[in-house]
Amino acid sequence: MPLLVEGRRVRLPQSAGDLVRAHPLLEERARLLRGQSVQQVGPQGLLYVQQRELAVTSPKDGSISILGSDDATTCHIVVLRHTGNGATCLTHCDGSDTKAEVPLIMNSIKSFSDQAQCGRLEVHLVGGFSDDRQLSQKLTHQLLSEFDRQEDDIHLVTLCVTELNDREENENHFPIIYGIAVDVRTAEVYRASFPDRGPEEELRAARALTGGPMISIYDAKTEQLRIGPYSWTPFPHVDFWLQQDDKEILENLSTSPLAEPPHFVEHIRSTLLFLKKYPSPTNTLFPGNKALLYKKNEDGLWEKISPPGS
C-alpha cells in the first residue's frame, strides 16, 4: 500500500520540494519545524541514537520517554510511529542500505504485538540539505520510494529534508536542522541537540565508521540498551589518518566537509584512536562474546548491568 499525505496517495518520483508544494500542509509543518529554536535535551529519559542505529519503544516504557539523534548533514533522521499503541521508532539513516533498512524500521514497530488496534502509521523525515554531491537528494528519494513500497498505509506527516532543510551562506549550503527528538508519549517531534550521547559513544561510532549495518540497540521489554557483541576488521591506514591535519580529515572522511558541526573532526579522531586501540574488538571489548547491557538508574543515567548468569 502507498505512502499517503492527508489521505491522498503521493505521486513518486518527485523531489521533496515538489512534494510539499503539492501538499501545503507538509510545507507549513516543515516551516514551523525549521522556525523552532533548538532544545538541549538532557540525559533523563533520553535514548540517543547514533548513525546506523535504530531504537523503538512505546509510552509504556518506564525508562525512556525521548528518542533523539543529531549531527545529520547528508543523513536523514526517520521517525515512524503507530498512533494506536504509541510504538515509536527513531533511526539515523545514511543511505548505505535503505532498501534493507526501511523493512527493519517497519518490523520494529510491528514487534509491538497489540498493533492490531485502531490507529495508523505516521512517518517523519528530517535532515539533509542541497549538498554538492546530491547525496541528500538521493537518500530522500530512496526513503520515500521504499516507504511507498511497503504493504501498509504509511502517512507522511513531516517532510523537512534536502532542499526544504537548506540554507545558503556565502554561496555555501548548510542544513538548517541537524538533530531532532521525539517525545514517545505526546508524539511531538522537535529540534534538539544532545550533550550526552552515551553510553559507549566511541564504541558505537567505531562500529558505524567500519561499515556495520543498521541495528536495533534497545529492548523495550527489559528496558535495556544492548551493545554488541560487534566485530570489525582493522581500519585501513589508521595511523596515516591520525597523522593528518583537520582539513584533510574533514575533506576525506566527511560526505559534506563544509557543513559538518564544529566537533566533527574531534569526533572522527577519537573514533580512529579507539579503532587503533581495539583493532579487533570481539574478545577485548566483549568478554565471553557477550553484549554490554545498560539500564537507566534512578537519576535517569545509563548504568552498566551484568548479563544474567555472568
CB-CB contact of 121 with 109 (8 Å)? yes
Query: How far apart, in Å, are the Cα atoms of 288 and each of 87, 222, 306?
Result: 33, 22, 12
| CA atoms within a 13 Å half-sphere pointing along the CA-CB vector of 37 | 2
Set out the domains of the chain in order of their start, with CATH numbers. 3-305 (3.30.1330.200)
Q: How far is CA 208 from CA 10, 24, 76, 135, in A?
A: 32, 37, 15, 18
Asked if 231 contacts 211 with a C-beta cutoff of 8 angstroms, the reply is: no
pLDDT by residue for the chain (310 residues), tens only, comes to: 689 998 999 888 888 999 999 999 999 999 999 999 999 999 999 999 999 999 999 999 999 999 999 999 999 999 999 999 999 999 999 999 999 999 999 999 998 866 567 899 999 999 999 999 999 999 999 999 999 999 999 999 999 999 999 999 999 999 999 999 999 999 999 999 999 998 999 999 999 999 999 999 999 999 999 999 999 988 899 999 999 999 999 999 999 999 999 999 999 999 999 999 999 898 789 988 899 999 999 999 999 998 666 5
Label residue 54 left, alpha or beta by phi (over 0 means left) and psi (-120 to 50 means alpha): beta
Give the integer Cα–Cα distance in Å for 40 and 16.
Answer: 28
State the cell numbers at 147: 516507504
In the DSSP assignment, the letter for residue 199 is S
Alpha-carbon span 107 to 87, nearest angstrom? 11
First to last CA, the chain: 46
